[in-house]
Amino acid sequence: SQQGEEDPQALSIQEGENATMNCSYKTSINNLQWYRQNSGRGLVHLILIRSNEREKHSGRLRVTLDTSKKSSSLLITASRAADTASYFCATGPINAGNNRKLIWGLGTSLAVNP
Amino acid sequence: ETGVTQSPTHLIKTRGQQVTLRCSSQSGHNTVSWYQQALGQGPQFIFQYYREEENGRGNFPPRFSGLQFPNYSSELNVNALELDDSALYLCASSFGTLAANTGELFFGEGSRLTVL
């Protein structure tokens, strides 16, 4: 089952613009992570934000977390054509039970046009 | 490069056949998680192995099974293949089950399975 829902499903911007993607989730979490996936390939970890953090930066990436709204956003500043990929949020639920799994959203497909 | 390698990268099977996919985890990682990703979807957790034992399973039928070896490499076996099993199968390694559940995962490039 999917917990995260990314919004928008697809985003097309010009190089140099900022890209913002949102993720909503349903249950209480320990942390939320963002991953990137180039077409049909493996996922690459971008950033992890813990439930007691509100904002985190890594290079051109900025992630915010609002646990009261159960939502997160990923901002990519000064986008490049190489940022073209799908972006997924994944949550680590508090009460993961025996499954102990990260729960993934459906992803946002980002296209950065040169 | 995550140091996680999967094989084969692509394969085609027919309904009813069996398939084995392999994963070598990153050096020092003792936990392997397997995910199924259908086209246009997010990854779905299949199961996790820690110290050669299954340590958590998602909503997949028993015909999905796995193994972890003493060197922490892992196999995913799928019996009686169905058309809906066509997907990208991803292996992810990490150190320790707590990290596997709440921390960063290191993914391989995946094995793309097509069932005809």
User: What's the distance, CA B91 to chain centroid?
Assistant: 4
Alpha-carbon torsion A1, A99, B107, B4, what sign? negative
Contacts of residue B48 in chain A, CB cutoff 8 Å?
100-101
Mark yes or no for CB contact B110/A40 under 8 Å.
yes
Identify the band that residue A98 occupies on the pLDDT scale cut at 50, 70 and 90: very low
β-partners of residue A56 are: A63
CA distance B87 to B68: 22
- pLDDT over 80 at A48, yes or no: yes
Strand order in the sheet with A19-24: A5-7, A19-24, A71-76, A61-66, A55-58
Q: What's the token pair of residue B6?
A: 């999967």
Is the pLDDT higher at A110 or at B29?
A110
Antiparallel, parallel or unpaired: β A108-113 and A10-14: parallel
Is the pLDDT higher at A28 or at B78?
B78
- pLDDT over 70 at A99, yes or no: no
β-partners of residue B93 are: B32, B106
pLDDT tens for chain B, 116 residues: list them: 678 999 999 999 999 999 999 999 988 888 899 999 999 889 999 999 988 999 888 899 999 999 999 989 999 999 999 999 999 999 999 877 665 566 788 999 999 999 99
DSSP B16: T
Nearest chain B CA: its distance from A85 CA (Å): 12
Considering CB atoms only, which of B59, B104, B107 is closest to A48?
B104
DSSP A81: G
Interface with B, mutate which of A102, A103, A108, A109 (most B CBs under 10 A): A102
